[in-house]
Amino acid sequence: MSLILISLTPFVGAIFTACISRLGRLHAAWTAGAVTLLTLALLFPLIADVFAGNTLIQQVSWIPMVGLDLAFRLDGLALLFALLILGIGLLIILYARYYLSERDDMGRFYTYLLLFMGSMLGIALSENVIQLLIFWELTSLSSFLLISYWQHRRESRRGARMALAVTGGGGLALLGGFLLLGNMVDSYNLSVILASGDIIRADPLYLPMLVLILLGAFTKSAQFPFHFWLPNAMAAPTPVSAYLHSATMVKAGVFLLARLFPALSGTEEWFWLVGITGLTTLLVAAYIAMFKHDLKGLLAYSTISHLGLITLLFGIGTPLAAVAGVFHIINHAIFKASLFMAAGIIDHETGTRDMRRLSGLWKFMPYTALLAMVAAASMAGVPLFNGFLSKEMFFAETLHNLDQTWGWLLPTAATLAGVFAVAYSLRLILGVFFGAAPVDLPKTPHEPPRWMKIPVEILVALCLLVGILPALTVEPILAIAASSVLQGPLPEHNLAIWHGFNTALWMSMIALVGGTLLYLGRRPLFKLYDRQWRSLEFRNLYNYLLGKLYKFSTSVTRIIDAGSLQRMIFVFILFILALGINGFLSGELLLTGQREGLAIDGVSLLVALIMVSATIATVIFHRQRLVALILMGAVGLGVALIFVKFSAPDLALTQLSVEVVTIMLLLLALYFLPQTSPIESSKLLRSRDWIISIVAGSGVTALTWAVLTRPHQSIADYFLANSVTGGGGTNVVNVILVDFRGYDTLGEITVLAIAGLGIYAMLDHLQLTGSSHDDKGRRWNHDTHPVILASFARLLLPIALIVAMFILLRGHNLPGGGFIAGLITAVALVMQYLANGVVWTQKRLPANVHSVIGYGLLIAVVTGLASWLFNYPFLTSTFSHIHWPIIGEFELASAMPFDLGVYLVVVGATSLILINLGLVHSNSPRANFRKQPRKWKH
């Protein structure tokens, strides 16, 4: 279970962080740090096992019918990623604590960050690919939240939306790919997939599957031509960029390549698709990076380029190239995180990231400059720094095909990319830290706070340690990670700084010298770039396509939705009619079935007559709204009588109380609305409406008749037989509600609660003036609170509450229950408002009914959860009979607190709606009734 626990810890921690951040600004940072440390601590005991070469797989059944298990996997690669995600995450948390300003909501930031961390960890630790995809999409969503953290900025919102659109689209493709893949090997588990490489590669659907999966990986890893979202995501706060674009988000794509390497690689298609994409990305992005004036923009394109390098390495497909790929994942995470953090420090302390304005910062912040230099040297691939080692392995791996005609192309391109990398690294350092003293900066630059530098120092120290002593530092973790990528023996490799004068070293030399020369001669190139490259921005294409899509969907919507509800309902009913008529014509032709009917008695006939005439009268008088409403109330009571007649006492009680509440509600609303409806539709239109209504009504009559005259089979016997033994109650309807189908009821009271709160939100700040006269000029009333009504209402309250309690308690065995009791209570409470007025009632009744809804839901859920304590599924009920002195035999059922929860939600929601609707009147003294919303503390 521990791997599940590890993956869930950040999510739970995120909720906890969100809650605790209300206590103070910095609490969120500490909590997030503690959660990350806890996750690391949970991971720690498993590390030794993985280093011993074992793969931990833990799974729980989830939906076994379709092959879905919650399955987690910890092998070398997963461990490497988990350490990167958590380790760098911890540093980012520390860094962000100092980076975020007073105005930024720390709670929100750290909550999002932990959500993202959990999603990333989920990707790394997933054994089941569908589950991996869920976490994959979660990273898209949580990165959307992180990138758009500064919601008030337009570019943040746009950048976040772009990232979500591109990576989300890729996720969709990935889902398709995974489904195909799972189909090929008949399992969604990685252990099976990784062992079935030959089956997969021989499958006729290999190519479409590969393309779909690669689309997912390439969009996530910002590979050309999907790279454009990454520079736009730089609108995020720098800690986010440092996290997402060094160790996590974009690495998810290359992680996927590494993860599925044994299953997918080794074919021509793989080599060309992955190789070409990687190579193009490597070159193009490195080229663009040279010309970016924004510090983070340069780093963004450099990130894309390095991801291209890693992709290319996996594309080359040799075991040694895969080792180099994993190695570069580590190195890039380390130096790029530290560079982003350094860029953030510069931005933080000078107020700008524009390299045209920055220069000569060495004098002001020499220490930060030194740190940035080390990291940049690593990025450029200078010897003694970690980036050099993996880059040299990369250079060596490009030399395999030299004997072929175009074999020279790959090493040349690689060297050229190296030249670019050296040039942009040089520009970053020389442009920002050296040269003339800066003029006119928004802030006077100085060194950042001590603790803001610590994360950068740690990472820079790692750059050096790995660069100088690779075999002692990185080799063990690289070995286990690479061997789990290869799923086989590790190729001979030698992590050392000096391999003698070989071709790779010469390539490095050329890159260093060439990069320096390029930097020195950069001016004409800048001019060229400004003239030509701008138009090639893929962002414009994306915006163009997006604009087209918007236009298209708007035009389609206009065709379907003409903005007229009446017409849409008409079309809808016409459609339903067509379906119904089709059903009648294609089924049995006989309308009347074999079942014998019941005889009509006089009373029933009378009730039916009253109902039908009241219904028709409602329509006839529907322009006089009050009359129509009263008539409708009569129909509602008739419905309750029908329930009584046909053996549904619970329904009759519910209908009766709901009817009261509904009429009260509609009366209140009607008070504010116009009292009459004007004639608007033409005669023709009304006749059309009549015809379609009568046809539909006749259809319902025919259907009802056809159903009622046919025998039926029901699953009711099960409920009747098990109600007492299984649910402990003799009122089968109530037992179904709170026991057999308790889960549904929980959903329904949740809906009720949401509706109540939604109505409250709509009524907030709504003020209406109702007229004191009706449409004929008569006063509504002369006495707002008649004495007799007021006194009786007060007298009735305790009696009504006792009746409600009685109905609630007996509900399990006799007609009644939480729903009905709740409605009765709500009516009794609202009666006080009606009879005694707001001022009198508020003084005596607790005004805050929101919490009643909350407590109700809580009680219902906790009752359900309690069964977990006894190892039963959610909402399993239990009951027992105890003997109380004097009172006698008494039944205690766990369904009772559940019904209490139902009761409270119904009371809360119903009275919330009615009381607040009454308070909408502009004369209501609600200013002191409604509490001001609590301000969110920062």
Partner 1 sequence: MEALIAIILGSLTTCGIYLILRGRTFPVVLGLTFLSYAVNLFLLIMGRLTIGKPPILVAGVSDYADPLPQALVLTAIVIGFAMTAFVIVLSLKAYSELSNDHVDGKHKS
Q: Name which of residues 816 to 875 contact partner 1 (CB under 8 A).
A: 819, 823
- Which of 612, 795, 802, 862 is the binder for partner 1 (CB under 8 A)? 612
309 closest CA partner among 289, 335, 286: 286
Q: How many residues bind partner 1 (CB under 8 A)?
A: 111
Decide if residue 630 touches partner 1 (CB under 8 A). Answer: no
Judged by beta carbon, residue 679 or residue 886, the one nearer partner 1 is 679
Helices (H), 260-382: 261-264, 268-289, 295-316, 319-350, 366-380
686-696 per-residue burial string, b: 16 or more CB within 10 A, e: under 16: eeeeeeeeeee
Decide if residue 199 touches partner 1 (CB under 8 A). Answer: no
Asked if residues 388 and 464 have their Cβ atoms less than 8 Å apart, the reply is no
Helix H or strand E segment including 267: none
338-348 per-residue burial string, b: 16 or more CB within 10 A, e: under 16: bbbbbbbbbbb
CA distance 631 to 649: 23
Collapsing DSSP states into helix, strand and coil, what is residue 62?
A: strand
Judged by beta carbon, residue 19 or residue 663, the one nearer partner 1 is 663
CA distance 846 to 931: 13
Give the pair of three-digit tokens for residue 612: 């039908």
One-letter-per-residue 3-state SS of 641-672: HHHHHCCCHHHHHHHHHHHHHHHHHHHHHHHH
292 closest CA partner among 526, 532, 536: 526
Judged by beta carbon, residue 307 or residue 912, the one nearer partner 1 is 912
Decide if residue 301 touches partner 1 (CB under 8 A). Answer: no
Decide if residue 636 touches partner 1 (CB under 8 A). Answer: yes
Judged by beta carbon, residue 298 or residue 614, the one nearer partner 1 is 614
Judged by beta carbon, residue 423 or residue 895, the one nearer partner 1 is 895
Nearest distance from C-beta of residue 557 to partner 1, angstroms: 15
Q: Which of residues 893-912 bind partner 1 (CB under 8 A)?
A: 906, 909-910
166-189 per-residue burial string, b: 16 or more CB within 10 A, e: under 16: bbbebbebbbbbbbbbbebbebbb
Decide if residue 887 touches partner 1 (CB under 8 A). Answer: no
CA distance 321 to 314: 6
Binding segment toward partner 1, per CB under 8 A, in 205-213, 288-296, 488-496, 591-599: 591-599
Decide if residue 624 touches partner 1 (CB under 8 A). Answer: no
Nearest distance from C-beta of residue 75 to partner 1, angstroms: 49
Decide if residue 605 touches partner 1 (CB under 8 A). Answer: yes
CA distance 626 to 623: 9
- Which of 649, 726, 837, 854 is the binder for partner 1 (CB under 8 A)? 649
Decide if residue 814 touches partner 1 (CB under 8 A). Answer: yes
CA distance 557 to 528: 45
Nearest distance from C-beta of residue 566 to partner 1, angstroms: 6
Judged by beta carbon, residue 47 or residue 635, the one nearer partner 1 is 635
Helix crossing, 475-486 with 76-99: angle to 10°?
120
Q: Which of residues 711-740 bind partner 1 (CB under 8 A)?
A: 712, 714-716, 719-720, 723-724, 730-733, 736-737
* Residues forming a β-bridge with 879: 893
Give the pair of three-digit tokens for residue 697: 């009504």
Nearest distance from C-beta of residue 578 to partner 1, angstroms: 15
Nearest distance from C-beta of residue 674 to partner 1, angstroms: 6
Give the pair of three-digit tokens for residue 189: 């588990």
Decide if residue 201 touches partner 1 (CB under 8 A). Answer: no
- Which of 759, 789, 809, 861 is the binder for partner 1 (CB under 8 A)? 759
Helices (H), 487-537: 503-520, 522-532
Judged by beta carbon, residue 208 or residue 597, the one nearer partner 1 is 597
Going by the DSSP 8-state scheme, the letter that residue 128 receives in this structure is B
Judged by beta carbon, residue 444 or residue 701, the one nearer partner 1 is 701
- Which of 917, 918, 919, 926 is the binder for partner 1 (CB under 8 A)? 917
Judged by beta carbon, residue 115 or residue 656, the one nearer partner 1 is 656
Q: Which of residues 557-586 bind partner 1 (CB under 8 A)?
A: 563-566, 569-570, 573
Collapsing DSSP states into helix, strand and coil, what is residue 355?
A: coil
Judged by beta carbon, residue 473 or residue 604, the one nearer partner 1 is 604
Nearest distance from C-beta of residue 822 to partner 1, angstroms: 9
- Which of 674, 786, 798, 925 is the binder for partner 1 (CB under 8 A)? 674
Helix H or strand E segment including 847: none
- Which of 263, 300, 629, 859 is the binder for partner 1 (CB under 8 A)? 629
Asked if residues 36 and 10 have their Cβ atoms less than 8 Å apart, the reply is yes
- Which of 595, 785, 844, 881 is the binder for partner 1 (CB under 8 A)? 595
Collapsing DSSP states into helix, strand and coil, what is residue 728?
A: coil
Nearest distance from C-beta of residue 760 to partner 1, angstroms: 9
Nearest distance from C-beta of residue 927 to partner 1, angstroms: 18
Decide if residue 684 touches partner 1 (CB under 8 A). Answer: no
Q: Which of residues 761-790 bind partner 1 (CB under 8 A)?
A: 762-763, 766-768
Judged by beta carbon, residue 550 or residue 718, the one nearer partner 1 is 718
Judged by beta carbon, residue 157 or residue 622, the one nearer partner 1 is 622
Nearest distance from C-beta of residue 349 to partner 1, angstroms: 48
- Which of 458, 648, 801, 847 is the binder for partner 1 (CB under 8 A)? 648
Asked if residues 41 and 90 have their Cβ atoms less than 8 Å apart, the reply is no
Asked if residues 836 and 785 have their Cβ atoms less than 8 Å apart, the reply is yes
- The pattern of x and - marking residues 219 through 248 that bind partner 1 according to CB under 8 A reads ------------------------------
User: ∠932-937-938 over CA atoms, to 5°?
Assistant: 150
- Chain centroid offset of residue 396 CA: 43
Q: Which residue has the tokens 């942009």?
A: 424
Nearest distance from C-beta of residue 831 to partner 1, angstroms: 17
- Chain centroid offset of residue 688 CA: 46
* Residues forming a β-bridge with 773: 779
- Which of 707, 839, 862, 892 is the binder for partner 1 (CB under 8 A)? 707
Judged by beta carbon, residue 439 or residue 598, the one nearer partner 1 is 598
Nearest distance from C-beta of residue 207 to partner 1, angstroms: 50
Judged by beta carbon, residue 549 or residue 708, the one nearer partner 1 is 708
